[in-house]
Structure 1
Amino acid sequence: MSDRPVSDFLRHHYRHFNAAALVDAAEAYRAHVDGGGRMLVALAGAMSTAEIGLSLADMIRRGHVHIVSCTGANLEEDLFNLVAHDHYERLPNWRDLTPADEQALLERGMNRVTDTCIPEEEAFRRIEAALVDEWRGAEERGERLFPHEVLYRIIRSGRLEEFYQIDPKDSWLVAAAEADLPIVTPGWEDSTTGNIFAAHVLAGDVKSPHTVKHGVEFMTWLANWYTANADGAGIGFFQIGGGIAGDFPICVVPMLEQDLDRRTPLWAYFCQISDSTTSYGSYSGAVPNEKITWGKLGPDTPRFIVESDATIVAPLIFQYVLERSERGGA
């Protein structure tokens, strides 16, 4: 059995088409952070349920990720996996499920994400009491928190540790909490924990919907963060999937430049992984060249598209970056 590093394997075999784009994107990612640049990682889809933490957590701990933009689902589903992993069910034949099969899963409290079912009681309800306690406590203290700050407090309190069912080193949210990594979660309301929050506001358990920050507050916070961190080698943008997790944060540059007339550096690197064809009604967001016309990227910005399944591509790129870092870019 070969002990050859994955990065060497990729450089030898991945020479053309999407395979070559994967290697080029990984090399440029490595060069960007080696040169002092910062990197935003945008997580769309169901990457947390796909256990992206197995590779992303190490990227965060090694300082190769400086900010995350993710859907509310990805934020919460890493925590769900942390406390309920042993109760998850995998359905290899998910393409063959009938509507009756899906109804049976619902009645068992098993919420399906492609081939994986998240158990409602062990995942959602296990963390609900901790969430409500944090929301109420923040409200009583007159605090307003971003969604990730609430989860960071829960993780740091240790109150859920008795329920951990994976090694916490494989949780990207635990790694982010340890690093106090900034996280932008646009559209957080469209998530299970966002729905739970709304339900408790409606029930009067939490008095104000403003206890949790969201929406425009994320953009104004991000604008200040970008302005403070875009000097030198700049900030790169590594986008997994499409939708709001990527579309929201990348707009901060033209907003600063065009709407506020602030001289602002463009994103210094861009990579997009998606298996969705760019067309009407399909991929949500402009491809790299089109982003030039919106003042997000420049003609000389290193930019890559890897048209493939992100659950395959992202861990390979992360491993490539990690190994090249260990070997000094050799």
Structure 2
Amino acid sequence: MTHSPISQFISHHYRHFNAAVMIDAARAYTQHLENGGKMFLTMGGAMSTAELGLSLAEMIRQDKVHGICCTGANLEEDVFNLVAHDHYVRIPNYRELTPADEESLCKRHLNRVTDTCIPEAEALRRIENAVLEEWIASDNRGERFFPHEFMFKILLSGKLKEHYQIDPKDSWLMEAAIRNLPIFVPGWEDSTLGNMYAAHCISGEVKNIHTVKTGIEYMILLAEWYTQIAPDGLGFFQIGGGIAGDFPICVVPMLHQDLRRPEVPLWSYFCQISDSTTSYGSYSGAVPNEKITWGKLGKESPKFIIESDATIVAPLIFAYVLGW
């Protein structure tokens, strides 16, 4: 692989501690792909609002990511950014905000995520209106789809195109929709659109609560997909912690222990970017070897944990894998 300035810089300067683990993980990621393996990416936190799509969309385009598990927030916030980017408000001094300052943002309908405020009217309500049409249409037809499939529908339909405020090539979900990339969104109800869906079920606009498929159905789908892909080697690249990572990694012990399919391979690579602390009993902060005891990883699996800020580290790893 030919490496350009960014990759050359990190190869030369990132020699020790977390920096060294980062470059080791990036090299192992590249080697895994060169050996014919696939990579599964999980995304917690607010990485879509951090605009990870600037690099993740290209990773999907260049066949460096083959499946994604993300929170409902990351699923929707990539689309919020697509249609409302110019209306976002950055608050550089967010650490200094008083309760009165926060109340003022609330009254302006600006929902804050660290230093970035998502505008309610231009982002949340615009997407709600678009996806509500799909929910009601599917409900009336007696059809059921997963949360990401509804998002794929509205993106591929072009109904939001007039509202785009960034290049759609920088939307990771748009690229995933174009490629029909396997997406899994456990706990989707813990998201803005999930809350809105519940409200529309309560109001009666959506009559069948099961019009949107559930997390258990996502696990069944994941088990089928994993069984097909894993024999060629499937890696696990985890950004952050929480349900986005905890949910999919469990598919292996489920297949082995609950379905009695010991022939299904373990995850063949593991890397997590995390700032969680192991000693607090945090599963998100657990060292990779702990996963061996749960039947998720093998003792020979390449394992990396980078204790750092994913908004800094993930784009650098992607840059290396892409040869930037």
TM-score, with length taken from structure 2: 0.97
User: Gaps spanning 5+ residues in structure 2: where?
Assistant: none
| 8 Å CA contact 2:275, 2:285 repeated in 1 | no
Provide the rounded CA distance (Å) in 2 between the counterparts of 1:11 and 1:281. Answer: 34
The one-character-per-residue Cα deviations of 1:230-266 (angstroms, maximum 9, x if unpaired) are: 112x110000001000000000000000111102200
Counterpart in the other structure of 1:231: 231
Counterpart in the other structure of 2:304: 304
Provide the rounded CA distance (Å) in 1 between the counterparts of 2:286 and 2:19. Answer: 22
Counterpart in the other structure of 1:18: 18
1:119 counterpart letter in structure 2: P
User: Gaps spanning 5+ residues in structure 1: where?
Assistant: 325-330
2:62 counterpart letter in structure 1: R
Aligned partner of residue 288 in structure 1, secondary structure: coil
The one-character-per-residue Cα deviations of 1:200-248 (angstroms, maximum 9, x if unpaired) are: 000000011100011211111100110011112x110000001000000
| 8 Å CA contact 1:30, 1:321 repeated in 2 | yes
1:293 counterpart letter in structure 2: T
Counterpart in the other structure of 1:327: none
Counterpart in the other structure of 2:164: 164
Counterpart in the other structure of 1:5: 5
1:312 counterpart letter in structure 2: I
Deviation, structure 1 residue 140:
2.1
Aligned partner of residue 323 in structure 2, secondary structure: helix
Counterpart in the other structure of 1:321: 321
Instruction: Check if 1:95 corresponds to 2:86.
Output: no
| 8 Å CA contact 1:247, 1:285 repeated in 2 | no
| 8 Å CA contact 2:235, 2:269 repeated in 1 | yes
| 8 Å CA contact 1:59, 1:65 repeated in 2 | yes
The one-character-per-residue Cα deviations of 1:10-39 (angstroms, maximum 9, x if unpaired) are: 110000000000000000111111111111
TM-score, with length taken from structure 1: 0.95
| 8 Å CA contact 1:78, 1:171 repeated in 2 | yes
Provide the rounded CA distance (Å) in 2 between the counterparts of 1:96 and 1:18. Answer: 30
Provide the rounded CA distance (Å) in 1 between the counterparts of 2:281 and 2:95. Answer: 23
Provide the rounded CA distance (Å) in 2 between the counterparts of 1:167 and 1:221. Answer: 31
Provide the rounded CA distance (Å) in 2 between the counterparts of 1:319 and 1:219. Answer: 31
The one-character-per-residue Cα deviations of 1:144-184 (angstroms, maximum 9, x if unpaired) are: 10001000000011000000000001000001001100110
Instruction: Check if 1:292 corresponds to 2:322.
Output: no
2:284 counterpart letter in structure 1: S
Counterpart in the other structure of 1:199: 199
The one-character-per-residue Cα deviations of 1:296-325 (angstroms, maximum 9, x if unpaired) are: 00010001011100000000000000007x
Provide the rounded CA distance (Å) in 2 between the counterparts of 1:311 and 1:283. Answer: 21
Provide the rounded CA distance (Å) in 2 between the counterparts of 1:193 and 1:75. Answer: 10
Aligned partner of residue 279 in structure 1, secondary structure: helix
Provide the rounded CA distance (Å) in 1 between the counterparts of 2:19 and 2:214. Answer: 38
Deviation, structure 1 residue 279:
2.8
Provide the rounded CA distance (Å) in 1 between the counterparts of 2:4 and 2:228. Answer: 40
| 8 Å CA contact 2:274, 2:285 repeated in 1 | no
2:34 counterpart letter in structure 1: D
Instruction: Check if 1:113 corresponds to 2:110.
Output: no
Counterpart in the other structure of 1:73: 73
Provide the rounded CA distance (Å) in 1 between the counterparts of 2:323 and 2:186. Answer: 32
Counterpart in the other structure of 2:239: 240
2:220 counterpart letter in structure 1: T
Provide the rounded CA distance (Å) in 2 between the counterparts of 1:119 and 1:102. Answer: 14
Counterpart in the other structure of 2:251: 252
| Count, aligned residues | 321
Moved over 4 A (4+): none
Instruction: Check if 1:262 corresponds to 2:261.
Output: yes
2:94 counterpart letter in structure 1: W
Identity %, equivalent residues? 69
Provide the rounded CA distance (Å) in 2 between the counterparts of 1:237 and 1:9. Answer: 26
Provide the rounded CA distance (Å) in 2 between the counterparts of 1:7 and 1:62. Answer: 17
Instruction: Check if 1:209 corresponds to 2:209.
Output: yes
Deviation, structure 1 residue 4:
5.3
RMSD, aligned α-carbons: 1.2
Counterpart in the other structure of 1:176: 176
| 8 Å CA contact 1:243, 1:285 repeated in 2 | no
Instruction: Check if 1:40 corresponds to 2:6.
Output: no
